[in-house]
Amino acid sequence: MTDGLRFAFGTLSVLPVRVNRWDRPTAGRAMLCAPLVGVVLGALAALLGGGLRWLHSGPLLAAVACVAALAALTRGLHLDGLADVADGLGSNKPAAAALAIMKASDIGPFGVLVLVLTLFTQVAALAQAFAVAGRLGAFGAVLAATAGRAALLRGCLQGTPSARPDGLGATVAGTVTPAFALVSGAAVVAVLGAGGWAAGGADPAGLRLAVGALLALACGLACAAVLLAHCVRRFGGITGDVLGAMVETAATAALVVWSLFAAA
């Protein structure tokens, strides 16, 4: 499991962690640890955004800081995947041609449009939560980062094919067993439910926000699952870009739902 943790943090973040093993069993353990990576990265982003809000910055600045921190902590890995998948799907070309477009280093109009709209949505949702209370915005950052990485459990579930014979997608595709995915998923539910309760305080708002956090998680995972199904149908399987797009899709959808509960 230590090798799995190293693989997870070394692959999904910029944290200085050395990856000692790069094989499919280790990749499977790493994907089970992916939500933990989300908790850590989300907490770091929350510290920055929450700190700015505590220093009386506006909610918009705090939200931008959180989104920027999450992008920096991953080198924009998942955002790049989102843009590439948008270009591949938007091209409306056969699978092989679409995969070639996704592998190219440049970014097309579909990618730019989806990237801009996604970042705007994330900032707007977080700003709304920060406007209500700093703790709600800070927890929103943790929720989004964790929900996004939890989507990788579904993306790498057994039976999910790889669109290419090589690359990160081929390494992690089908490496997560359903039983272990349920265990990891249950841990995510417990952590986010407790976090939502704590963010709301020890009163009826705590229960409402705990439910809101779990509904946000469910909505994020559902949206990521829809994207996964479409990509498997269009490309013949997953790639690293598809997994990155799932992360950003789940995070964005979860943030939108959370912002609605925070503002209620």
Neighbours of 132 (CB within 10 A): 15
Phi and psi at 124, nearest 5°, equal -65, -45
Phi and psi at 157, nearest 5°, equal -65, 150
Outline where DSSP puts E strands in 39-138.
Answer: none
Residues 174, 157 contacting (CB under 8 angstroms): yes
Residues 6+ away with beta carbon under 8 Å from 237: 160, 161, 162, 163, 164, 169, 173
* pTM listed for this prediction: 0.95
Measured CA to CA, the distance from residue 22 to residue 218 in angstroms comes to 31
Per residue of the chain (264 residues), what is the pLDDT tens digit?
Answer: 788 899 999 999 999 888 888 889 999 999 999 999 999 999 999 999 999 999 999 999 999 999 999 999 999 999 999 999 999 999 989 999 999 999 988 899 999 999 999 999 999 999 999 999 999 999 999 999 999 999 999 999 999 999 998 888 899 999 999 999 999 999 999 999 999 999 887 667 888 999 999 999 999 999 999 999 999 999 999 999 999 999 999 999 999 999 999 988
User: Closest by alpha carbon to 147, among 249, 50, 11?
Assistant: 249
- 197-236: pLDDT as tens digits: 998 876 678 889 999 999 999 999 999 999 999 999 999 9
Measured CA to CA, the distance from residue 197 to residue 213 in angstroms comes to 9
Neighbours of 63 (CB within 10 A): 29
Residues 160, 232 contacting (CB under 8 angstroms): yes
Task: Using CB atoms within 10 Å of the CB of residue 18, give its burial: 0 to 12 exposed, 13 to 18 middle, 19+ buried.
Answer: exposed
